[in-house]
């Protein structure tokens, strides 16, 4: 399987919300087709097989994703939840979730898009009502809008992931220091 999605956030609901990247600048939508949505479901590890999604499933997934992001953002800002976002997430969570089955080969989960979306919404409910709330942080990269769970020692993690944002910002800071040192030496 070719992995196209990344999962640096520490919770499936946060990784799902992060599928619209760079919300404050040039937005990058990951769910451009039913195939891309199905790929996320599979790559997330929430299911082993998914019944192929339709365009309406993508629209519903984006609606739930945006509601999750609104609730997470409100929680980070210490604001009240938007009632519409609550209704969307709770409505999705009320649907039957993806249900694992025991097979001779082990655990196997096949689900519809609606069932996987219910599972994601349930993760959001658990996250936003659970003990990890104080560990949620937004990435320190101003271009990135991912929120992640900081389980690092001393809660000093600054980026959603070193591969994506951390290395990029460290390289930028290094180049800026080098440029400044060269400018100072030239004087």
pLDDT at residue 154 in the model? 87
pLDDT at residue 78 in the model? 96
pLDDT at residue 164 in the model? 66
Return d(Cα 168, Cα 161) in angstroms, integer. Answer: 10
Does residue 83 fall inside a structural domain? yes
Does residue 79 fall inside a structural domain? yes
Number of domains present in the structure of the chain = 1
- The alpha carbon dihedral of 94, 117, 125, 87 has a sign of negative
CA-based max dimension of the chain:
74
Question: Measuring CA to CA, which residue among 66, 78, 77 is closest to residue 13?
Answer: 66
Structural domain including 84 reads: 12-186
Does residue 142 fall inside a structural domain? yes
For residue 29, what are its two tokens? 């939508």
Does residue 112 fall inside a structural domain? yes
Return d(Cα 41, Cα 163) in angstroms, integer. Answer: 22
Question: Measuring CA to CA, which residue among 69, 62, 67 is closest to residue 85?
Answer: 67
pLDDT at residue 159 in the model? 79
CATH of the domain at 165: 1.10.3300.10
pLDDT at residue 179 in the model? 67
Does residue 4 fall inside a structural domain? no
pLDDT at residue 168 in the model? 56
Does residue 67 fall inside a structural domain? yes
Tell me, letter by letter, the H, E, C secondary structure of 88-112.
Answer: HHHHHHHCCCCCCEEECCEEECEEC
pLDDT at residue 1 in the model? 47
Does residue 2 fall inside a structural domain? no
pLDDT mean by block of 10 residues, the chain; 187 residues: 76 96 86 96 97 98 98 97 98 98 97 98 98 94 90 86 62 59 69
Does residue 93 fall inside a structural domain? yes
């Amino acid at each position: 399987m070719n992995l196209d999605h990344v999962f640096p956030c520490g919770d499936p609901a946060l990784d799902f919300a992060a599928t619209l990247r760079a919300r404050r600048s040039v937005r990058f939508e990951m769910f451009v087709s039913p195939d891309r949505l199905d790929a996320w479901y599979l790559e997330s590890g929430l299911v082993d097989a998914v019944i192929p999604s339709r365009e309406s499933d993508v629209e519903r997934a984006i609606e739930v994703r945006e509601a999750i992001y609104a609730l997470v953002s409100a929680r980070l800002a210490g604001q009240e939840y938007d009632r519409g976002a609550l209704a969307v997430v709770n409505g999705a969570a009320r649907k039957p979730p993806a249900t694992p089955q025991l097979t001779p080969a082990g655990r196997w989960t096949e689900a519809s898009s609606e069932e996987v979306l219910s599972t994601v919404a349930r993760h959001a409910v658990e996250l936003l009502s659970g003990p990890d709330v104080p560990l949620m942080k937004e990435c320190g990269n101003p271009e990135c809008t991912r929120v992640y769970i900081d389980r690092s020692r001393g809660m000093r993690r600054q980026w959603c992931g070193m591969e994506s944002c951390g290395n990029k910002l460290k390289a930028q800071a290094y180049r800026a220091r080098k440029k400044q040192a060269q400018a100072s030496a030239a004087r």
